């Protein structure tokens, strides 16, 4: 059976057409389902269980690669995949009429004094990744709160900062490449 057929089977086998997700709660792992459908909108956002990543990976990998083009080479999509399978990152997909139209990767980060949900990548097929996600932000915030996070964070480009009106621009991350010094 093809991955697309497998995805359709998983989607149709659940009462609300959602893919399950594992969520750690107080040291144990329980099956939790996350989906949000905002009435008139035909877009649904789904948090994909690590065990189900293979069912949607073919549709998501190119979206993740598109977002990673803007990184400093910290990750490639295979690294993301491995972390998704290990449940150390989360894959959120936006679907419209049964088609994956956007993908977002998040990761819970534990600092010594606080825990945050970091947005690692966000992209959409038509280049409007954030536009598809913004109405679902309360769902993502709810996930962050349930996993013990007190904030969301994202390392982002300037254009995205302007769109995130209710986010605080805390600081900038700057980089300097040292590859030439290693040789």
pLDDT value at residue 79: 97
pLDDT value at residue 157: 72
Q: What is the pTM of this model?
A: 0.74
Q: How far apart are CA 133 and CA 43, in angstroms?
A: 9
Q: How many domains does the chain have?
A: 1
User: Beta strands 35-37 and 28-33: pairing type?
Assistant: unpaired
Task: Band the pLDDT of 126: cuts 50, 70, 90.
Answer: confident
Show the domain range for 90: 3-182
Angle between helices 53-68 and 3-13 (to 10 degrees): 110
Percent of residues, the chain, with pLDDT higher than 90: 41
pLDDT digits (tens, 9 = 90+) for 61-118: 999 999 899 888 899 999 999 999 999 999 999 988 888 989 999 999 999 999 999 9
Task: Band the pLDDT of 16: cuts 50, 70, 90.
Answer: very low
Average pLDDT rounded to a whole number, residues 120-144: 80
Three-class secondary structure assignment of 16-45: CCCCEEEEEECCEEEEEECEEECCCCCEEE
How high does pLDDT run on average in the chain?
77
Average pLDDT rounded to a whole number, residues 20-26: 33
pLDDT value at residue 180: 79
pLDDT value at residue 58: 94
- Please report the DSSP string for 95-159 in residue order: EETTEEEEEEEEEEEE-SS-EEEEEEEEEETTS-HHHHHGGGHHHHHHHHHHTT-SEEEE---HH
pLDDT value at residue 129: 55
Residue 26 zone, left/alpha/beta (φ > 0; ψ -120 to 50; rest)? left
Would the pLDDT of 161 be above 50?
A: yes
Would the pLDDT of 30 be above 50?
A: no
Give the CATH number of the domain where residue 36 resides: 3.40.630.30
């Amino acid at each position: 059976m093809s991955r697309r057929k497998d995805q359709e089977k998983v989607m149709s086998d659940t009462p609300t057409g959602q893919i399950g997700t594992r969520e750690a709660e107080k040291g144990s792992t329980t099956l939790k389902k996350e989906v949000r459908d905002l009435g008139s909108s035909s877009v649904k956002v789904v948090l994909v269980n690590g065990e189900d990543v293979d069912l949607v990976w073919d549709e998501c990998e190119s979206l993740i690669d598109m977002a990673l083009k803007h990184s400093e080479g910290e990750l490639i999509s295979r690294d993301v995949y491995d972390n998704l399978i290990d449940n150390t990152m989360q894959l959120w997909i936006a679907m419209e009429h049964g088609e994956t139209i956007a993908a977002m990767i998040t990761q819970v980060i534990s600092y010594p004094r606080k825990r945050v949900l970091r947005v690692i990548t966000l992209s959409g097929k038509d280049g409007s990744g954030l536009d598809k996600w913004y109405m679902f932000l309360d769902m993502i915030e709810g996930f962050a709160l349930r996993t013990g996070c007190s904030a969301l964070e994202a390392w982002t480009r300037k254009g995205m900062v302007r769109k995130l009106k209710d986010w605080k621009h805390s600081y900038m991350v700057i980089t300097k490449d040292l590859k030439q010094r290693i040789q």
